[in-house]
A and B are shown apart, each in its own frame.
Chain A
Amino acid sequence: MRTRKPTPVRVLACGAIDRGDDGAALRALRLVPAATRRRWRVEEVGQLSAEQLIGDPSDMRRVVIDCVAGLTPGAITELPLAELPELEAASGATSSHALGPGQAVALAAALGAVGQRDWFIGIGGSSFGSGSGLTPAVEGALDEFARRLVAVAEER
């Protein structure tokens, strides 16, 4: 009997741990069992940028996790990474300092660097102040955020 070769997984966790709900993805990652995490290539990327999505093997599944302003705090959304630009445009969130995550994905997609295997999981957040912790709504949804990450990354 032949065993199916597992799909390589790369998790790109966005956000800053010391900026309130912006640290939700990094905190959720800590809730994932170490044995599961070891199967993945995990990177804390701060803010997602287009170059982070280029150069990966085509069979790799990339899962981007982040906290999203504009969603109901604590609400979790998952969608193909290629659809993130639409979510970002709908939320009205833009940055004058850099490409937003959705714009970064759109740029990478224009280069053919975003595939059908790639997913985005976001959790709504409301407070992004320096030095603050998670808001209760995000704290309460963190276990579910981590569970959804594992399910998407492991194709369960």
Chain B
Amino acid sequence: MHTGTPQDGDLHFEVGQLTRVEGEGSLDLRVAADGTVAAQLRIFEAPRYFERLVVGRTPDEVIDIVARICGICPVAYQMSAVHAFEHLLEVEIDPAVRLLRRLLYCGEWIESHALHIFLLHAPDFLGYPSALEMAHDHLELVSRGLSMKKLGNRIVAIVGARAIHPLSVRVGGFSRAPRAQEFDELYSPLETAITEAEATVKWAASLDTPPSDREPRLVSLRHPGEYPMSDGRIVSSDGIDLSPDDWRSAFHEVQVPWSHALQASAADGVPYLLGPTARVALAADQLHPRAAAALKATRISPEALRRNVFHSIVARAVELLHALAEAADIVASYAPPARPASAWKPKAGVAAWATEAPRGLLFHRYKLDAKGIVRGAQIVPPTSQNQAAIEHDLALFAPAVLHLPHDEATRRMEQLIRSYDPCISCATHFLQLKIEHDR
């Protein structure tokens, strides 16, 4: 860290390497003489060129390739891609396949949310540098997190044939649908995990959160009959209402000079927030009854949940509970589809769709030729879309902590950044913190 650069009159604050986030980046803050703060999230991880790698490939190959973008949320990449292709190719999906896909997504939400709540974010609230140090004093908490993560991975492995980078998703369905007996091992662990997740919501709501107040524009899918995952419309807290293939009519990507990751922006340039807080705020009425009851019992108002960025851990815990409860329901009623996949024929056109990755809306768009070969691609991960909101919130939050010793200021700002559960590996791929003060 460097504090102060007297030559140019700036006060410069630098966090060298963001920790407990997925990927590599840094944060630069410049404090002007009037006290206003400008934040730049510098994502310097090398570009990964996935949008080029999928060109010349078939839809099923694309589904396997894009799963490699992230080891935490590969299912999200598969779901956005497969729904995009199926929408263009007008493939009718067996209702049992649709349920199986929701179960697969639940598995990913469980492992991703458990990892973030217990291993990445909890140490911030409890005052530990990492989960490893935290484990010595909070054994039960870490153990609970690992057990839930393991359960989420197991669900993905049963449905997707592999816990990381699953293999079975295909256009039209799956290459193989599990037999009902394969889910027998999940009943008891799911029931245990649901009870523990209810306790987790209560615990998360009891955490001492720093003051934070902003009014974010929230964006997520919303569906009339279910909590948003793979279907519904793209909606916002201020009136956006789009088909999930129509993301580009309200949003676009821009290149900022300090980041290898493209940033996404709304047409009016106002930053927007994706992820658990947005989903819980915009679709609270669709939460599983057990998750809705747990949220209500926290007595955190919807307004407080939305306005305090640090309450994201509560929203994430509510979604963890939702995903576990929904997974239990699906497993209990599961009957294999008559056929694991529906047939389809290639067709030229544009395939586009958005689904809800654990970190928020994930948009895919592919151009296909008449043989069904991909000729162009656009993939917009949630962290790319949240970058501007992170920078905006850091600029608002920083004045409250810049007077603190550097290590403490860094810790507080990393805590804020981790509230977004950023996945820089997805966005290209974080934290050095650099502050400059104009004097």
Q: Interface residues, chain A, CB within 8 Å of chain B? A: 46-47, 49-52, 54-55, 96-98, 103, 106-108, 110-111
Contact = CB atoms under 8 A, between A and B. Distances in A.
A2 B149 CA distance: 41
> Which of the listed residues A55, A97, A98 has the most CB atoms from chain B within 10 Å of its own CB?
A97
Contacts, number: 50
A109 B152 CA distance: 22
A86 B31 CA distance: 42
Contact of A51 (B19, B71, B147): B147
Given A51-B147, A54-B146, A55-B150, A96 B139 contact: no
Interface string B10-33: 000000010101111000000000
A36 B21 CA distance: 41
A76 to B, nearest CB: 26
Contacts of A97: 22-23, 71, 425, 429
Contacts of B143: 54, 111
B136 A110 contact: yes
B142 A107 contact: yes
B321 interface: no
Contact of A110 (B24, B135, B164): B135
**For the complex, would chain B's binding face be called helix, strand, loop or mixed by DSSP majority?**
helix
Interface of B: 17, 19, 21-24, 71, 131-132, 135-136, 139, 142-143, 146-147, 149-150, 153, 164-165, 425, 429-430
A108 B149 CA distance: 13
Contact of B142 (A49, A55, A103, A110): A110
A108 B147 CA distance: 11
B425 A107 contact: no
A54 B150 contact: yes
Contacts of A55: 147, 150
A107 B147 contact: no
A116 to B, nearest CB: 20
A54 B430 CA distance: 30
Given A107-B131, A107-B142, A46 B150 contact: no
B129 to A, nearest CB: 12
A81 to B, nearest CB: 16
Contacts of A110: 132, 135-136, 139, 142
Nearest to B431: A96
7 contacts: A51-B147, A51-B150, A96-B23, A96-B430, A106-B132, A107-B142, A110-B135
A55 B17 CA distance: 34
Contacts of B429: 97
A26 to B, nearest CB: 13
Contacts of A107: 131-132, 135, 142, 146
Nearest to B154: A51
Contacts of A50: 146
Given A97-B425, A98-B71, A103 B132 contact: yes
Contacts of B142: 107, 110-111
B150 A52 contact: yes
A113 to B, nearest CB: 9
> Which of the listed residues B17, B135, B425 has the most CB atoms from chain A within 10 Å of its own CB?
B135
A108 B135 CA distance: 9
Contacts of B132: 103, 106-107, 110
Contacts of A108: 146
Given A46-B164, A110-B132, A96 B17 contact: yes
Contacts of A51: 146-147, 149-150, 153
A97 B430 CA distance: 10
A90 B411 CA distance: 27
A51 B153 CA distance: 10
B147 A54 contact: yes
A54 B153 CA distance: 13
Contacts of B131: 107
A51 B151 CA distance: 9
A31 B136 CA distance: 40
Nearest to A52: B150
A46 B17 CA distance: 26
B130 to A, nearest CB: 8
Nearest to A96: B24
